[in-house]
Structure 1
Amino acid sequence: MHEPSQAVTTGPGQLVAAWRRHWPHYLAEALGLAFFVVSASLMTVLLEHPSSVVHQALPDSEVVRRGVLGAVMWLVLAAIVYNPWGKRSGAHINPAVTLAFWQLGKMRTADAVWYVLAQIAGAIAAAQLMSVVLGALYAHPDVKYAVTQPKPGGELLAFAAEFVISFVLMSVLLTALHSSKLKEAAGWILGGLVAFYILVETPYSGMSLNPARSLGTAIAAGNYQGLWLYWVAPPLAMWLATVLFRRFYHGEALDCAVLAGCGPGTSSPHSPDEEPPQYPDE
């Protein structure tokens, strides 16, 4: 298994070269997270705004509304992971996930840098778009720009909750991707886990898992309360899960950093003449 330290010396020249060769992958990451943020924002308005017919039909059923949101976002994640663009980039759509794959040696440093920047750009652009399109609906106190913020339990509880769900998610994802039987279903498994988190974990931290997603909506809202914990807990937890997985797992090797699952041979979504960013230099 390749070590990420091989590419630590990445400089401006490598970044420019990587951009020229792999910019479609970075664009796919930006669009993937933008689609996620737009979907989450629209669903939050539909479910939580008092004038919404859906909210009026379920005014006292917060758990049911969270269940509906989770089910929809499950399908949204599956669409992101399994569409051709998602398979092309790997559909990380999360800086913490990208850093975990980099830690595993499945991405070059230059590609990881661009992935994170693209994810941040996609989240910010999508949240700003929703601010323009939805206006007062998006800003309503019951919607709050779909921000993720610590709940009444406080930042410490929110940090612990984000850490736990991020650690479990990465552990499950790595287990699925390392399994010949499960890797092609990894995206569905991931989506199901996120749906479950939305249902049961939202009351503690707002259920982020994703630093870029939280940053994008925080900028739109102009409210940065607790933002630091979403940039610390998920990356730290996924890094730890990756380190422990590498330490204790000795089974089937990971083929690539693609959430839809793939092999480096004929099952790869990449054409023979296209160099994917998932495999580091030999």
Structure 2
Amino acid sequence: MSFAGRFFAALPRHWAHYLAEAAGLAFFVTCAGLLTVLVEHPNSPLASYVPTAPLLRRAMLGGAMVLVIVSIVYSPWGKRSGAHINPAVTLAFWQLGKVSTPDAVWYVLAQMTGGIGAALLLRTVLGEWYAHPAVDFTVTQPKTTAMGPELAFLAEFGISFLLMLVLLMTLHSERFKKLTGWFLGGLLAVYITFESPLSGMSLNPARSLATALAADSYNGLWVYFAAPPLAMWLATVLFRRFYHGEDLDCAILAGCGPGTSSPFTAGEEPPHYPDE
């Protein structure tokens, strides 16, 4: 069967998984936007309780986003699709042969759609609150300095590389695979607290595209389309080259059981098999 045939044949079989990916990134973008408004907007109802130090405000936001990530990964919908909510993560699992090519394309399209829809909805509903300079649509952009884009690229590459290594190491561990979501949430909190001044802390091309469209500002967008996928690809290549531990069972961030099992009954597994 041609790729087009397999591509369209996958939709009726796995549409619920694609919908879960769209909903997952939409939820992430929505929570990031609302929490940023609450923490950063000067007229926020929490303004009197928020620390004045930027580092502490970012730490508050990072702590809250831990719960967002964990809720996505371990939700029934997150377990259904794998909770990738990031084209770079999906492409890494595709490279590992855990997601078929048609499913990977559908996943990326769904992630883009969910993120863009959420960002545009926030712009429509929140208006000035979302557009305020302190919030700035939660857009991710390099610093406006001579070496800003280069610095942002290196920062995004580094945090993406480390995130994928941690993800692969935990998912390959019988002891830690069920805790992968918590490890990722912890890393995200650290990144938001300490790395976000360098690049805006994206890790995610779909998330950056969504907020760029909402802000109608595309400065340095190439950084977020290039650095995370390249870094996660390299991390996956090196991991496969040097790691000889337990095999990766599936592309589900909540973890799977041993062998070829999954958290679902026969016929309901998230797509995690390579093309034949």
Residue of structure 2 aligned with 1:213, choices 203, 207, 212:
207
The whole-number CA distance in structure 2 between the counterparts of 1:222 and 1:56 is: 31
CA contact (8 A) 1:106 1:278 kept: yes
The whole-number CA distance in structure 1 between the counterparts of 2:126 and 2:19 is: 24
Which residue does 1:279 correspond to in 2?
273
Which residue does 2:101 correspond to in 1?
109
Is 2:12 aligned against 1:20?
Answer: yes
Instruction: Using the TM superposition, give the Cα deviation of residue 68 of structure 1 relative to its aligned residue in structure 2, in angstroms.
Output: 0.8
SS in 2 for 1:223: coil
CA contact (8 A) 2:249 2:257 kept: yes
CA contact (8 A) 1:256 1:264 kept: no
Instruction: Using the TM superposition, give the Cα deviation of residue 263 of structure 1 relative to its aligned residue in structure 2, in angstroms.
Output: 2.5
Is 2:187 aligned against 1:193?
Answer: yes
CA contact (8 A) 2:88 2:232 kept: yes
What TM-score, normalized to structure 1? 0.94
Is 2:43 aligned against 1:76?
Answer: no
Which residue does 1:4 correspond to in 2?
none
Instruction: Using the TM superposition, give the Cα deviation of residue 20 of structure 1 relative to its aligned residue in structure 2, in angstroms.
Output: 1.1
CA contact (8 A) 2:80 2:269 kept: no
After superposition, the Cα gap between the structure-2 partners of 1:266 and 1:138, relative to the gap in structure 1 and judged at 3 Å, is: same
SS in 2 for 1:184: helix
Is 2:78 aligned against 1:86?
Answer: yes
Instruction: Say what the alpha-carbon RMSD is for the aligned residues.
Output: 1.5
Is 2:150 aligned against 1:156?
Answer: yes
CA contact (8 A) 1:148 1:206 kept: yes
* Aligned residue identity for 2:267: D
Segments of structure 2 that go 5 or more residues without pairing to the other structure are none
Alignment of 1:264-275 (within 5 A): 268-275=262-269
The whole-number CA distance in structure 1 between the counterparts of 2:140 and 2:36 is: 12
CA contact (8 A) 1:183 1:260 kept: yes
Instruction: Using the TM superposition, give the Cα deviation of residue 103 of structure 1 relative to its aligned residue in structure 2, in angstroms.
Output: 0.5
Count residues with an aligned counterpart.
274
SS in 2 for 1:149: coil
After superposition, the Cα gap between the structure-2 partners of 1:12 and 1:267, relative to the gap in structure 1 and judged at 3 Å, is: closer
CA contact (8 A) 1:10 1:110 kept: no
Residues 211-255 of structure 1, C-alpha deviations (whole Å, 9 max, x = no match): 000000000000001111000000000000000000001110000
CA contact (8 A) 1:101 1:257 kept: yes
* Aligned residue identity for 2:75: N
